[in-house]
């Protein structure tokens, strides 16, 4: 009972006090990807591209066991906005265009952990994404979040050019799950973010929290994870299958 209560108390604030995304993975029948993208683009342009319409964003997964599948999400600034359902005409068009060639899976609800994130530029400027999913132990959550929060602080203090969103899962996940998303402009920046820029983070972390604190905390972070509690995959943003930047107003994702 106590463990269940802890999970409920942990999950509720994730959705109640943050930006929220509802995500799913879309598997398309073999040979139907082009037709799917045409249909998804048509629906998105008609019902998700004008001010006041619902916002949807689509990525193609390019590495990992789901490579070749699509990652599509609905974004809202708060949980109550999900009380607005997609119009019946939009659902009808989606079903007509792509419904008979896709399977939806892995539906999740996640809330932004702004303290652990660093967003200073438009997400549209970072089309390449590297996603790290972590399952962590409830009794080790302090070690997990200490490292994640300290990393975000070190990024901000060092002014490293690192785009990082951290989302906590409230529903649809096995156990405690956090999704850390790094954004990159291109593959050259992908490389520099993980070398030149991250060296700035490493040095600032040790300056802020004490000599060798990065190594100490990342070891505790690793010990906080469940067995096989680390998954990494890449995605690329598909603007034609997504709501446009001009109507998105993603300012609440940014650092305060």
- CATH number, domain at 170? 3.30.70.100
252 located within any domain: no
What domain range is 134 assigned to?
2-243
Interacting residues of 185 by C-beta distance below 8 A, sequence separation 6+: 125, 126, 127, 128
Q: Note the pLDDT of residue 16.
A: 58
- In tens, the pLDDT along 89-103 reads 999 999 999 999 999
Q: What is the per-residue burial (b if ≥16 Cβ within 10 Å, else e) of 70-95?
A: bbbbbbbbebeeeeeebeeebeebbe
pTM: 0.92
70, 92, 41, 9: which is closest to 233 by C-alpha? 70
93 located within any domain: yes
| Segment 110-139 mean pLDDT | 97
How far is Cα 105 from Cα 152, in angstroms, rounded to an integer? 31
Give the model's confidence band at 221: pLDDT under 50 very low, under 70 low, under 90 confident, else very high: very high
Give the model's confidence band at 17: pLDDT under 50 very low, under 70 low, under 90 confident, else very high: low
31 located within any domain: yes
Give the model's confidence band at 4: pLDDT under 50 very low, under 70 low, under 90 confident, else very high: very low
Provide the 3-class DSSP secondary structure of residue 126.
coil
150 located within any domain: yes
Give the model's confidence band at 9: pLDDT under 50 very low, under 70 low, under 90 confident, else very high: very low
- In tens, the pLDDT along 24-72 reads 999 999 999 999 999 999 999 999 999 999 999 999 999 999 999 999 9
250 located within any domain: no
Average pLDDT over the chain reads 93
Give the model's confidence band at 113: pLDDT under 50 very low, under 70 low, under 90 confident, else very high: very high
């Amino acid at each position: 009972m106590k463990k269940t209560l802890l999970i409920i108390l942990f999950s509720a604030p994730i959705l109640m006090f943050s930006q929220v995304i509802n995500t799913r993975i879309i598997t398309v029948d073999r040979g139907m990807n082009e037709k799917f993208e045409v249909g998804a683009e048509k629906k998105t342009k008609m019902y998700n591209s004008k001010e006041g319409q619902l916002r949807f964003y689509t990525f193609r997964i390019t590495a990992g066991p789901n490579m070749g599948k699509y990652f599509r999400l609905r974004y809202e600034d708060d949980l109550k906005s999900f009380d607005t359902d997609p119009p019946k005409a939009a659902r009808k068009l989606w079903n007509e265009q792509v419904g008979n060639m896709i399977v939806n899976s892995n539906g999740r609800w996640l809330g932004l952990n702004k303290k652990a994130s660093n967003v200073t530029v438009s997400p549209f400027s970072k089309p390449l994404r590297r996603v790290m999913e972590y399952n962590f132990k409830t009794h080790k959550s302090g070690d997990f979040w200490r490292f994640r929060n300290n990393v975000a602080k070190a990024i901000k203090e060092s002014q490293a050019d690192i785009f990082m969103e951290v989302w906590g899962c409230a529903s649809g996940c096995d156990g405690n799950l956090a999704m850390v998303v790094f954004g990159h402009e291109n593959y050259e920046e992908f490389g520099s973010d993980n070398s030149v820029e991250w060296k700035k983070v490493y040095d600032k972390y040790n300056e802020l929290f004490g000599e060798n604190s990065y190594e100490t905390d990342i070891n505790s972070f690793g010990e906080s994870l469940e067995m096989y509690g680390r998954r990494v995959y890449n995605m690329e943003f598909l603007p034609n299958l997504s709501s446009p930047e001009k109507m998105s107003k993603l300012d609440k994702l940014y650092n305060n």
